[in-house]
Structures are given as C-alpha cells and as structure tokens.
Structure 1
Amino acid sequence: MTSSGRRAEIFTGTGPDPRFSGSGTGDERRMLVDFLRDQRATLEMKCAGLSGELAQRSVEPSTLSLLGLIRHLADVERRWFRQVLAAQDVPLLFCAEGNADGDFDAAASDSESVAASWAAWRAEVAFADRLVRHAPHLDIEGYDSWRGRVSLRWVLIHMVEEYARHNGHADLLRERIDGARGL
C-alpha cells in the first residue's frame, strides 16, 4: 500500500465517497437522519469483506472487536429506539443483567454468529428508521432509567455520537486485522 492515494480509496475506490452526501442546510430531521445513516454506513464499510476476522480482539485484556461493535450497536439501537422511544418491553439481544459485556465477550468468529449479529443489527436499524420516519416530530419523548425523559432529537444526536466514537475504534481494529486504513 502506498501513501500516495487517499485513505478512503481503500474502502470506496477512486470514485466519490457515498457517505456524507446529505445537504449542509435544511430540515433538522433530515440532517440528523443523514448523519446517522452515514455513521452506520461507515461501520459497514469498516467491516466490509471480513467474516470470522470480525471477532479478532484488539489487544489483551480487551475483548473489543469489530463483531463486538456490531453487537454492541445493535443493542444500543434496540435500547434507545425500541425500549425507550417505543416503550417496548423487550430484552437486549447480546447483553443481560449479570452479563453487561455479552456484546463483546461472547462475539464468536463462526459464520452463524457473524451472520446472526449482522441480521440483528440490520433489524434494529430498520426498526429505528421506521420509528423516525413515522414520528410526528423530533420532540416525541421516552423515558430512560439513566437519562430520564429524552426526546427523539436527543436520541438521534446521541446515536451519531455513539457511532462516531465506535467508528474510531473500528478504524484501529480494521487496520490491525489487515492493514486497511480509510476514512
């Protein structure tokens, strides 16, 4: 790999990066949704072309892995959109009382676990997208035991922040797996 090309070309090729193409002005909901969509796409891009390698841990004693991030973000999506905003009484998928780090600790490299983790993440993203699309406004609220009352606006901002932080982890994890670096 040479340093003459853009880092993003490793993942996007020489064409335009499909992310971050939303308008810089306009409707607040559209901008928040676009930023979250782009952060989700970044996670997928960082994991592209990998299967069992997704479970490779960062460095001892950490259990941080790309697959753990996928599982963690599936649970984060589920918590904020299903449990808090939609008030659904559903358990998290990978974490539980007594196993708060199940999203990372139990991330296994077999193809069934990888496929199930991606399917869970995609299902939670789809649910969240439907909820946001059908919400009458950004001020709808839900109750969270940690934050108290939160609005859809707050959740969308928090989700952008959550993905952005973890996409930074994903950058380093992917580079450790195969040297791939990108934006």
Structure 2
Amino acid sequence: MQTPSERVPALLDGPAVDVTDPRELLTGYLDWYRDALRRKISGLSDEQLQTPVQPFGWSPLGLVKHLGWVERRWLRWGFTAEDIAGYPPGGDAAEWDVSGQTTRAVLAGYLDEVQRSRAIIAAADLTDQARVGGRFPTADQAPALGRILFHLLQEYARHLGHLDIARELIDGKTGE
C-alpha cells in the first residue's frame, strides 16, 4: 500500500516551496524551464530533433534555436543594448531553421546564450532599467530587468507547452 506522500505528486515545480524572494523565484523558475527544455528533448534521435513536426512546421531543435535567440534578443540586445543582431539574417524563418546545422552546434549556441543571460542577470537588480539602444530606442520603452524576466518565463512556458504536443506527436511521450 502506498503512503500518502507516495500518492501525492509534487505541488509545485521550480524553486522550493519556501522560496519567497522575488529574484530567487524569477531566476529559479527560469532555470527550471531551461532544464525542462532539455528534459523534453532528451531521448530524441538527431533525426527526430531536426525533422519538422506537422502540423507545426518546426522541429524540436528549431525551437531550441529560437529560444536561444529569445534569450539573446531580450537580455543581450535588449537589456544591455549590446551591439549585436537581435534577429538572424533571414528573419523568423531562419531563427527556427536548423537545416545544415548539427544538434551539437545548436545546443551549444543555446547554452552559450543561457550562460550569457545568467551573467547579465547576476550583475543587475530586478529594478534596473534596460539600456537605451538595441531593442529599446527610448528610455520610456525600456523595461526593468524584472519585467524582462517575466516575459522570458511566459516565452518558455508557452513554447514548452508546444514542445509537449510536438513530442507526443513524435513518439507518444507526454510531459509533466
């Protein structure tokens, strides 16, 4: 017979239930979603990772590449106004296209953007306003870091839901 704790699933994902600090909650959930992305693609072959899923038209690896661009766009080009491209040449289609790229290269590019994002986040307060330039041409358009992190959380949550559906179509595996 199962004990009550064995029958009850975890009530919350992400940071521990006793975490109340807003910064720790935001960064903890963001890291939880980043890890969930890797869990959700785990076990897929290179072919499964790179083949577009119908009816979506994008591949799981294409979604990983897109989320790398999202990190870059919102933190490096956005928050710090780094003088870099916010979008790849070729626009949205190129952002999701992984043809001719290896799984290893796409994952390495994504993880590099995540590491850069973590460094930016660690060096700033949630109330720090994004620099003007890059994504935000004027100060009144430039949000605080906390607002940007909330946006990143919704990007990850939405796209990981999409990935759950794609994964179920690929091999029947369902997410948490």
Could you tell me the TM-score, scaled by structure 2's length?
A: 0.81
1:58 maps to amino acid = V
Distance (whole Å) between structure 2 residues aligned to residue 79 and residue 99 of structure 1: 13
2:28 maps to amino acid = D
Specify the SS of the correspondent of 1:100. Answer: helix
Match of 1:141 in 2: 129
Match of 1:6 in 2: none
5+ residue gaps, structure 1: 1-14
2:110 maps to amino acid = W
Match of 1:117 in 2: 106
Match of 1:162 in 2: 155
How far the C-alpha of 1:21 sits from its partner, in A, is 3.9
Larger Rg: 2
1:71 maps to amino acid = K
How far the C-alpha of 1:92 sits from its partner, in A, is 4.2
Match of 1:7 in 2: none
Q: Identity over aligned residues, as a percent?
A: 31
Specify the SS of the correspondent of 1:162. Answer: helix
How far the C-alpha of 1:51 sits from its partner, in A, is 3.6
How far the C-alpha of 1:182 sits from its partner, in A, is 2.0
| 2:107 maps to 1:107 | no
Could you tell me the TM-score, scaled by structure 1's length?
A: 0.79
Distance (whole Å) between structure 2 residues aligned to residue 32 and residue 64 of structure 1: 28
| 2:37 maps to 1:49 | no
Match of 1:131 in 2: 120
Specify the SS of the correspondent of 2:161. Answer: helix
| 2:28 maps to 1:34 | yes
Q: Which has the higher contact order (CA 8 A, sep 6+)?
A: 1
Contact 2:14 2:28 in 1 (8 A): yes
Residues 88-107 of structure 1 mapped to structure 2, 5 A cutoff: 88-92=82-86, 95-96=88-89, 98-104=90-96, 106-107=97-98
Contact 2:78 2:136 in 1 (8 A): no
| 2:65 maps to 1:71 | yes
Rate the CA distance shift 1:21–1:145 in 2: closer, same or farther, 3 A: closer
5+ residue gaps, structure 2: 1-8
How far the C-alpha of 1:58 sits from its partner, in A, is 2.1
1:180 maps to amino acid = K
Q: Deviations over 1:92-151 (max 9, x none)?
A: 47x32x4322122x223x6x521111001100111111111121x111122434992111
Rate the CA distance shift 1:90–1:130 in 2: closer, same or farther, 3 A: same
Contact 1:73 1:121 in 2 (8 A): yes
How far the C-alpha of 1:24 sits from its partner, in A, is 4.4
Match of 2:16 in 1: 22
Higher strand proportion: 1
Distance (whole Å) between structure 2 residues aligned to residue 118 and residue 157 of structure 1: 23
1:140 maps to amino acid = D
